[in-house]
Chains A and B, each alone.
Chain A
Amino acid sequence: EIVLTQSPGTLSLSPGERATLSCRASQSVSSSYLAWYQQKPGQAPRLLVYGASSRATDIPDRFSGSGSGTDFTLTISRLEPEDFAVYYCQQYGNSPAFSFGQGTKLEIK
């Protein structure tokens, strides 16, 4: 079972700043199967990035994903007020079994 560890647990930043969120896997993950999600209170998660670096439909280009192997990063280049939320990484390997990281809460400083 692949365990995903996200850091930091909470990130406090101001609108306009750059956010860098990390996701580390306990073993190598195919880049094709690493995704990032955003979740706001009371809502279902929303797919942001898949395949480690491809933005999902209608996702602004201030969101970007990168990484390979065991280390992956989600970067938000310039924070907008609506970006403050919880972010999860997910791996879905080459089988339909998958796992999530524990989440990073991005809060307004």
Chain B
Amino acid sequence: QVQLQESGPGLVKPSETLSLTCSVSGGSISSSSYYWGWIRQPPGKGLEWIGNIYYRGSTYYNPSLKSRVTISVDTSKNQFSLKLSSVTAADTAVYYCARLAAAGIDYWGQGTLVTVSS
């Protein structure tokens, strides 16, 4: 059974960089069948796609966030990471990591709340 687990600070100051890591267990991040991605959900609002990465390192970002987002992968640790720079209160959200298959997003992390506040 594949499991994804987000980790990282729950509080980030405005203008700083948000950093999260997703650890994958029960399956290899190096599988050619999947992309790995980040999705966020501000409190009480809908889902917003942030970006995806393939195990070989190719990335795809939401155009509205592209200038501030970096997603990277570490196949040796079976992890991938998110960095979002110059955060504001509008970046406060539950951040999910997920696995994207041809049949949709079939596995999600439990989500981690990141609050941007001084």
Our pick among B35, B37, B49, B63 for the contact of A100 (Cβ within 8 Å) is B49
Of residues 89 to 118 in B, which have CB atoms within 8 Å of A's CB atoms?
A: 96, 100, 102-106, 108-111
CA distance A99 to B46 in the complex (A): 11
Would you give the shortest CB distance from B47 to chain A, in whole angstroms? 4
Q: Does B72 contact A (CB under 8 A)?
A: no
Q: Does A64 contact B (CB under 8 A)?
A: no
Q: Is the CB of B110 within 8 A of A44?
A: yes
Q: Which of B102, B103, B111 has the most CB of A within 10 A?
A: B103
Q: Does B55 contact A (CB under 8 A)?
A: no
> Which A positions have Cβ atoms within 8 angstroms of B?
1, 32, 35, 37, 39, 44-47, 50-51, 54, 56, 88, 90, 92, 95-103
